[in-house]
């Protein structure tokens, strides 16, 4: 059985109080409870404060370019679909720059779990509005308030018939841990949008703001798409967390003959690691 220590990486450099700490705890806890060892897991990220999460864990990791989390995760999963692949992104990274990749990853329904640290702001670049910033929010770059309507990732994913769509809140670690476990257990693409307070740059959507609004879904049938849309559109005085939508769409890996035969990485033959490293220089 793995332990928290098995997954301990570098010391986090996030601001004290950042919601990312709780997401890091929930990811480790979920992997431990699923009995997964570090060598079985790959964490892929792009650029952002959220994308530093893989640095703070000890397992297979790949830190790529801004907005390009999902294509890298897709390539890795195709090469070795025995790996548990988790893509980590920010709201800017995934819903802004990487939005096009999100559309097609949902369509493909590849067995990756996407965690979006949705702090409704660009954290790394110090506080510009993101696609999910609430209308009217004042930032350094939007001194008269955000004039655009926010992107609704949950409604978008439901409309795309994504296989598994959930929302978590970093302030509720046990619930978030369950969401991550269910997402990893789902065969096909799973997206978990995680409400994550940014204590330094987002003074509007604070812990108190979320705590007043967030409620755990109960008596909800996630297989009912119409009900899922209703919950997906709920944002304001009440914000639901939980599994909002899921379906039984077959995963990409089960549809492609070459992948059904076995692992592509085995087909290619595994070169010794020294040969691979020498090719990089
Ligand atoms: C191609 C490219 N475009 C823009 C940037 C600048 N940039 C880096 S992180 C970022 C946004 C970060 O916001 P988010 O994805 O929400 O992550 P957070 O820091 O809030 O976790 C931007 C615009 C970049 N590094 N590369
Ligand atoms: Mg962000």
Per-residue pLDDT, 272:
77
| pLDDT on residue 33 | 98
Q: What is the pLDDT of residue 206?
A: 98
Helix residue ranges, H only, the chain: 20-33, 69-79, 91, 99-108, 153-159, 173-185, 207-213, 225-232, 257-261, 264-268, 273-279
pLDDT of res. 277: 83
**For position 268, what pLDDT does the model report?**
73
In DSSP notation, 51-62 reads GGGGGGB-SEEE
| Ligand 1 atom nearest to 96, measured from its CA | 15
- Backbone CA torsion sign across 38, 44, 49, 50: negative
Full-model pTM? 0.96
Count the Cβ atoms, other than its own, within 10 Å of residue 208: 10
CA of 122 to the centre of ligand 1 (A): 6
Domain ranges in the chain are: 4-279
**Among 66, 119, 127, residue to substitute to test ligand 1 (most atoms within 8 Å of Cβ):** 66
Average pLDDT across each block of 10 residues of the chain; the chain has 281 residues. List them in order.
94 98 98 98 98 98 97 97 97 98 98 98 98 96 96 98 98 98 98 98 97 98 98 97 98 93 82 81 76
Which pLDDT score, from 0 to 100, does residue 279 have?
87
Q: 122 has which bridge partners? A: 128
Rounded distance between C-alpha atoms, residue 264 and residue 267, angstroms? 5
CB 22 within 8 A of CB 99: no
Does the 4-279 domain belong in CATH 3.40.50.970? yes
* Closest Cα to atom 4 of ligand 1: 66
Question: How is the chain split among helix, strand and coil, in percent rounded to 5?
Answer: 40, 20, 45
């Amino acid at each position: 059985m793995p332990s928290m220590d098995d997954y301990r990486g570098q010391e986090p450099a996030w601001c004290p109080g950042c919601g990312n700490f709780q997401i890091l705890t929930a990811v480790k806890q979920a992997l431990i409870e699923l009995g997964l060892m570090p060598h079985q897991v790959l964490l892929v990220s792009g650029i952002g404060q959220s994308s530093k999460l893989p640095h703070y864990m000890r397992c297979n990791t790949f830190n790529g370019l801004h907005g390009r989390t999902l294509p890298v995760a897709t390539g890795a999963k195709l090469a070795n679909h025995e790996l548990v692949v988790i893509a980590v992104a920010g709201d800017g990274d995934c819903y802004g720059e990487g939005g096009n990749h999100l559309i097609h990853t949902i369509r493909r329904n590849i067995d990756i779990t996407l965690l979006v640290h949705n702090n409704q702001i660009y954290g790394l670049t110090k506080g510009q509005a993101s696609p999910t910033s609430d209308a009217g929010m004042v930032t350094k770059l939007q001194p008269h308030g955000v004039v655009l309507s926010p992107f609704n990732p949950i409604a978008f994913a439901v409309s795309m018939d994504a296989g598994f769509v959930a929302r978590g809140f970093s302030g509720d670690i046990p619930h978030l841990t369950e969401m991550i476990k269910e997402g990893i257990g789902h065969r096909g693409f799973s997206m978990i949008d995680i409400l994550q307070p940014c204590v330094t740059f987002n003074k509007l959507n604070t812990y108190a703001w979320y705590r007043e609004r967030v409620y755990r879904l109960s008596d909800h049938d996630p297989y009912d798409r119409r009900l899922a849309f209703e919950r997906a559109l709920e944002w304001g005085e009440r914000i639901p967390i939980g599994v909002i939508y899921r379906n039984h769409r077959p995963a990409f890996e089960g549809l492609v003959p070459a992948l059904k035969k076995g692992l592509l990485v085995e087909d290619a033959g595994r070169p010794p690691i020294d040969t691979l490293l020498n090719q990089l220089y």
